[in-house]
Amino acid sequence: MNLVSTMLGLTVMGIAAPTVLDMSLSPIIAQKRSNNFGVAETSAVTFAAANEGAASVGTPPTGCTLDSTNKPAYRITCEQGSGKYIQRVTRAFRTNQNASPARTFPHTVSKPSMDHQCNAPDEWGIGWADKWPTLKQCMPQVAWSKEAYLNSDPDYWLYDINNIRGFGPHPDY
């Protein structure tokens, strides 16, 4: 009877060995996948948080791809690991289209007065303070009307006139 019991026990162990092996490796595999998930999650969340509400989107970190098909909403997908240990994390964020990048202008002047309009040859009134120091800064020609203001290009402004005269923020500012 010992021989039959031994053979039966060995047969059952032979059949069950792969399952027992899988059960013993499962915590190790789970730990590796968990570590990879943590790295991918950290990359995705950090990038999304840094770019949420920003005027522009930065360069995604290594192992991450940026989906910008639904601007101003973006998706960052970060991947860590390989094979059966690979983990992917996707996070969404939105940029602020109205946030203005830091603009610099060649001149700084006081807020223009609506009383005087700048004329040629000094259409921006840059020499105004020197020529007429007792008068307020003149209104540049691009701000004489809302239409002129909206048709102007902020890249060519000599000083900041955004939202001048209550025209609202310039759409290209």
Question: What is the pLDDT confidence band of residue 64, given thresholds at 50, 70 and 90?
Answer: very high
Phi, psi of 15 (to 5 degrees): -75, -40
In total, the chain counts a number of residues equal to 173
Please state, in angstroms and rounded to a whole number, the distance separating the CA atoms of residues 12 and 104.
79
More reliable by pLDDT, 96 or 77: 77
3-state class of 160 per DSSP? Answer: coil
| Cβ neighbours around 134 below 10 Å, total | 4
Q: Record the pTM.
A: 0.48
How much is the mean pLDDT over the chain? 82
